[in-house]
């Protein structure tokens, strides 16, 4: 077989969605739309407006807001360099010299990131380029040592050249609270009537180990309240809105857990963390590797541990509620009171600490049924100070994000999934003249809001009726020469097989009246 023929025989590669990502398909997408529509409606009744931030932002924004030590920022972000379009890295050795000059000049003009790291990298690139130039072109007959020097200089020059940042580091958003705060500052929203209430929905990205209810591209529906006072009624009303939304979606078996993690001061959370670390050090040997590491990096996260053998140890650790300052204690008690006023049922969970650094005081999570180990369908909390941390004015903040994938999964598990969408009318036409009428009928029926299927080619009636049933159509509109001539169309009810003759006007009235 010739090479060309062999190539033809070769099957083209089949592509699959990347691990941790998936296609959302009909009929499921109807449920997604219903859930999103419910969010628009419920959040609207609480005075929230929609924000649509970009899907990628500077990496530094997430590092600063979510915390550089968190799993999300240190391991899970999809990060890349947003390079200018017209800079090409060298392909041949002869191009390195020009490329170095270009990079140096762009750096001086501030057209590539003027960071300390980049400056050092360009210096190293320059130094090894000089050494490389000195060893290059020595001709044949070079000694082993000369060759090794040349090889070493070349390797290091290329190494540093590739490390020059030609553009800022950007990341696909792992969450949206940081973006909303950035937008609040960027658009001077502190000048609007406070607080500003915003909600969003859309994809987020985290490189986590995929499993049921955990994806690398997943969807959140979130809401944030920025500015104004930190009145406990704000915390409670936000949670009330969330529970109303879940209720309207028909979510079953929801459980709301709340906690207060105080604020960062010696007489409050910092004092507690020191005490916790002290206690954890006493039992360090009995803890797993993750918890041992967290004693140093973030002892609060040890409380999050799901490891079976750590549970008995964690149960003996001090509770944060006993170490809150008076103000945080009062705030927490008032939040609980406000929830009770609204009839919101909650459970206190002293171990609820959350995995993002920006939280203070109120934290909460909601679990739902049918989700296995990934049963948190929503998480949120207060984050006074985050806007300031991102360069804005001192601003109170609180919000939540719902895992939409998990919400949908739970609804489906409890039988609230969407049924495949059938058609109202399948138009079975035969003959040239009937076809023109069929096109007009399809247009009129669709304008009236009915789901209509118009086969693109002529089919025998038997075949057409078979297709109509397969598509879950309620009716077949039969259009042949007779119908066109008489102006009386035949409508067949596919469930009962009953047929009736109707004019176009009568048909529309009949369908509307169902
Ligand atoms: P979070 O707890 O990281 O909080 O995420 C909120 C929810 O997103 C989780 O409860 C879960 O339902 C869903 N989720 C997280 N990761 C995944 C994943 N890999 N696959 C599927 N679903 C996932 C935040 O993101 C904060 N920004 C919430 C917030 C808003 N706090 C204040 N304002």
Q: CA–CA separation, 27 vs 307, rounded Å?
A: 38
341: buried, middle or exposed (CB in 10 Å: 19+, 13-18, 0-12)?
exposed
Which pLDDT band holds residue 5 (cuts at 50, 70, 90)?
A: low
Q: What is the CA radius of gyration of the chain?
A: 32
Task: Enter the pTM of the model.
Answer: 0.91
Element (H, E) at 237: helix 232-249
- Residues 425-437: what's their mean pLDDT? 96
Task: Please tell me the predicted confidence (pLDDT) of residue 206.
Answer: 98
Q: How far is the CA of 378 from the centre of ligand 1 (A)?
A: 6
User: Is any atom of ligand 1 closer than 6 Å to the C-beta of 384?
Assistant: no
Q: CA–CA separation, 271 vs 422, rounded Å?
A: 62
| Longest Cα separation, the chain | 102
Mean per-residue pLDDT over the chain, rounded: 94
Nearest CA to ligand 1 atom 30: 400
Element (H, E) at 131: helix 116-135
Nearest CA to ligand 1 atom 25: 175
Task: Please tell me the predicted confidence (pLDDT) of residue 168.
Answer: 92
pLDDT digit string, tens, across residues 434-466:
999 999 999 999 999 999 999 999 999 999 999
- Residues 386-391: what's their mean pLDDT? 98
* Helix 232-249, helix 326-341: angle, nearest 10: 40
Nearest CA to ligand 1 atom 2: 379
Q: CA–CA separation, 68 vs 298, rounded Å?
A: 12
- Closest atom, ligand 1, to C-alpha of 407: 12
- Closest atom, ligand 1, to C-alpha of 399: 33
Q: At residue 7, does pLDDT exceed 90?
A: no
> In Å, how far are 106, 117, 165, 166, 473 from 103, measured between CA atoms?
5, 14, 10, 8, 65
Q: CA–CA separation, 67 vs 319, rounded Å?
A: 24
C-alpha dihedral sign at 102, 105, 107, 110:
negative
- How large a percentage of the chain has pLDDT more than 70? 97
Task: Please tell me the predicted confidence (pLDDT) of residue 4.
Answer: 62
Task: Please tell me the predicted confidence (pLDDT) of residue 2.
Answer: 62
- Residues 22-45: what's their mean pLDDT? 97
C-alpha dihedral sign at 208, 209, 212, 216:
positive
Nearest CA to ligand 1 atom 21: 214
Task: Please tell me the predicted confidence (pLDDT) of residue 140.
Answer: 64
Q: How far is the CA of 151 from the centre of ligand 1 (A)?
A: 49
pLDDT digit string, tens, across residues 259-297:
999 999 999 999 999 999 999 999 999 999 999 999 998
User: Is any atom of ligand 1 closer than 6 Å to the C-beta of 381?
Assistant: yes
Residue 235 and residue 363 in contact, taking contact as beta carbons nearer than 8 Å: no
pLDDT digit string, tens, across residues 405-416:
999 999 999 998
β-pairing verdict for 425-429 and 452-453: parallel
Q: CA–CA separation, 350 vs 379, rounded Å?
A: 15
Which pLDDT band holds residue 10 (cuts at 50, 70, 90)?
A: confident
Strand partners, 211: 214
Residue 331 and residue 344 in contact, taking contact as beta carbons nearer than 8 Å: no
Q: Is 412 helix (H, G, I), strand (E, B) or coil?
A: helix
Q: CA–CA separation, 233 vs 342, rounded Å?
A: 10
pLDDT digit string, tens, across residues 218-272:
999 999 999 999 999 999 999 999 999 999 999 999 999 999 999 999 999 999 9
Residue 268 and residue 323 in contact, taking contact as beta carbons nearer than 8 Å: yes
Q: At residue 9, does pLDDT exceed 80?
A: no
- Residues 460-481: what's their mean pLDDT? 96
> In Å, how far are 122, 426, 466, 494 from 470, measured between CA atoms?
66, 11, 6, 11
Which pLDDT band holds residue 8 (cuts at 50, 70, 90)?
A: low
Q: CA–CA separation, 307 vs 442, rounded Å?
A: 60
Task: Please tell me the predicted confidence (pLDDT) of residue 355.
Answer: 84
The per-residue DSSP string of 162-199 comes to: HH---S-EEEE-S-SHHHHHHHHHHTTGGGSSSSEEEE
């Amino acid at each position: 077989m010739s090479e060309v023929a062999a190539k033809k025989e070769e099957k083209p590669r089949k592509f699959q969605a990347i691990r941790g990502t998936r296609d959302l398909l009909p009929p499921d997408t109807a449920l997604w739309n219903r859930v999103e529509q419910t969010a628009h409606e419920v959040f609207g009744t609480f005075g929230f407006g929609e924000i649509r931030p970009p899907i990628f932002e500077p990496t530094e924004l997430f590092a600063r807001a979510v915390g550089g030590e968190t799993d999300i920022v240190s391991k899970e972000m999809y990060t890349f360099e947003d390079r200018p379009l017209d800079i090409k890295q060298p392909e041949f050795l002869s191009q390195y010299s020009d490329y170095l000059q270009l990079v140096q000049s762009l750096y001086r003009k501030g057209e590539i990131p003027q960071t300390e790291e980049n400056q050092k990298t360009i210096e190293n690139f320059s130094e090894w380029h000089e050494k490389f130039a000195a060893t290059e072109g020595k001709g044949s007959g070079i000694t082993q040592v000369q060759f090794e020097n040349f090889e070493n200089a070349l390797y290091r020059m290329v190494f540093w050249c590739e490390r020059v940042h030609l553009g800022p580091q950007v990341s696909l958003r792992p969450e949206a609270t940081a973006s909303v705060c950035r937008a609040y500052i960027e658009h001077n929203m502190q000048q609007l009537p406070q607080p500003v209430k915003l909600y969003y929905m859309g994809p987020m990205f985290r490189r986590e180990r995929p499993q049921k209810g955990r994806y690398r591209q997943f969807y959140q529906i979130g809401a944030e309240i920025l500015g104004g006072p930190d009145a406990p009624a704000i915390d409670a009303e936000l949670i009330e809105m969330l529970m109303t939304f879940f209720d309207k979606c028909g979510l079953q078996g929801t459980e709301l857990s709340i906690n207060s993690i105080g604020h960062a001061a010696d007489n409050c959370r910092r004092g507690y963390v020191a005490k916790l670390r002290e206690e954890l050090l006493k039992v360090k040997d009995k803890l797993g590797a993750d918890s041992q590491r967290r004693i140093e990096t973030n002892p609060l996260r040890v409380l999050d541990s799901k490891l079976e053998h750590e549970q008995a140890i964690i149960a003996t650790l001090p509770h944060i509620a006993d170490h809150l300052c008076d103000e945080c204690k009062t705030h927490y008690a008032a939040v609980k009171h406000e929830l009770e006023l609204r009839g919101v049922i909650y459970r206190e969970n002293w171990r609820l600490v959350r995995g993002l650094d920006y939280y203070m005081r109120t934290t909460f999570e909601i679990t739902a049924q049918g989700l296995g180990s990934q049963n948190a369908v929503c998480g949120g909390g207060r984050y006074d100070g985050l806007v300031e941390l991102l360069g804005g004015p001192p601003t109170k903040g609180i919000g939540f994000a719902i895992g939409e994938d998990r919400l949908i999964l739970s609804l489906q598990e409890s039988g609230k999934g969407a049924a495949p969408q059938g058609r109202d009318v399948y138009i079975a036409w035969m003959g040239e003249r009937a076809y023109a009428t069929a096109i007009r009928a399809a247009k009129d029926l669709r304008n009236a809001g009915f789901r209509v299927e118009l086969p693109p080619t002529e089919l025998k009636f038997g075949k057409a009726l078979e297709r109509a049933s397969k598509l879950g159509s309620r009716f077949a509109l039969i259009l042949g020469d007779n119908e066109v001539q008489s102006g009386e169309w035949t409508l067949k009810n596919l469930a009962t097989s009953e047929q009736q003759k109707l004019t176009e006007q009568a048909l529309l009235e009949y369908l509307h009246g169902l």
